[in-house]
Chains A and B, each alone.
Chain A
Amino acid sequence: MATASETPHIALTLRDHLPILQVLIPLCVAPLIVLLGGRRMAWGLAFLASALSLVVSFLLMMQVMDGSFISYHLGGWAPPVGIEYRIDAANAFVLFLISLTATLVVPFALRSVADEIPARSHTLFYACFTLVLTGLLGVVATGDAFNVFVFLEISSLSTYVLVSQGLYRDKRALSAAYDYLIMGTIGATFFVIGIGFLYMTTGTLNMADMAERLVGQGDNRTVQAAFAFIVVGMGLKVAIYPLHLWLPAAYNYAPSAVTVFLAATSTKAAVYVLLRFMFSVFQPEFVFDTNLLLWILAPFALLAMFAASLIAVFQTNFKRMLAYSSIAQIGYMLLGISLFSVTGLSATMVHLFNHGITKAALFMAVGALVLRSGNTFYDRIEGMGRVMPLTGAAVVLGGLSLIGVPGTAGFISKWVLVQAAFEADLWWIALLIVASSLLAVIYMWRVIEVLYLHTPHPEAIHKEAPLSMVIPMWIAAGACVWFGIDTSLTMGAANTAAIGLMGGTDGMALTPTVGGLLGNGH
Chain B
Amino acid sequence: MTLEFFIGHINYWLFIVLMMTGFYIVVACGNLVKKVVGLNIFQVAVFMLYISISKVTGGTAPIFPIDRMGKIKADPEIVYSNPLPHVLILTAIVVGIATTSLALALIVRIREAYNTIEEDDILEIDARTARAENIIHGEAMGGRA
Residues from chain B with a CB closer than 8 A to the CB of A167 are: 109, 113
* B129:A377 contact, CB within 8 angstroms: no
A345–B111 CA distance with the chains assembled, in angstroms = 46
* A377:B137 contact, CB within 8 angstroms: yes
* B43:A181 contact, CB within 8 angstroms: no
Please provide the chain A residues from 146 to 199 with a CB less than 8 Å away from any CB of chain B in the complex.
146, 149-150, 153, 157, 160-161, 164, 167, 171-172, 174-175, 177-178, 181-182, 185-186, 188-189, 192-193, 196, 199
Please provide the chain B residues from 28 to 76 with a CB less than 8 Å away from any CB of chain A in the complex.
32, 35, 39, 42-43, 46, 49-50, 53-54, 56
B78 interface residue per 8 A CB criterion: no
B14 interface residue per 8 A CB criterion: no
Instruction: Name the CB-closest residue of B to A147.
Output: B91
* Binary contact track B102-132/A, C-beta < 8 Å → 1, others 0: 1100110110011000000010001001000
Instruction: Name the CB-closest residue of B to A183.
Output: B26
Q: Which of B32, B95, B126 contacts A172 (CB 8 A)?
A: B126
Give the interface SS of chain A, mostly helix, strand, loop or mixed.
helix
A521 interface residue per 8 A CB criterion: yes
B17 interface residue per 8 A CB criterion: no
Given A189-B43, A521-B53, is A178 in contact with B103 using a C-beta cutoff of 8 Å? yes
* A316:B98 contact, CB within 8 angstroms: no
A199–B84 CA distance with the chains assembled, in angstroms = 10
Shortest beta-carbon distance from A384 to chain B in Å: 14
Q: Which of B35, B106, B129, B143 has the most CB of A within 10 A?
A: B106
* B39:A199 contact, CB within 8 angstroms: no
Residues from chain B with a CB closer than 8 A to the CB of A164 are: 106, 109
A458–B127 CA distance with the chains assembled, in angstroms = 28
A519 interface residue per 8 A CB criterion: yes
Please provide the chain B residues from 77 to 108 with a CB less than 8 Å away from any CB of chain A in the complex.
82, 84-85, 88, 91-92, 95, 98-99, 102-103, 106-107
- Assuming A175-B110, A317-B137, what are 6 further A-B pairs, CB within 8 angstroms? A164-B109, A181-B103, A188-B95, A196-B46, A205-B84, A378-B140
B-to-A contact residues, CB < 8 Å: 19, 23, 26, 32, 35, 39, 42-43, 46, 49-50, 53-54, 56, 82, 84-85, 88, 91-92, 95, 98-99, 102-103, 106-107, 109-110, 113-114, 122, 126, 129, 133-134, 136-138, 140-141, 143-145
Write 15 A-B pairs (CB below 8 A) sorted by A numbering: A153-B98, A157-B102, A164-B106, A167-B109, A175-B110, A188-B95, A189-B42, A193-B19, A196-B46, A315-B145, A316-B137, A378-B141, A379-B140, A521-B82, A521-B84
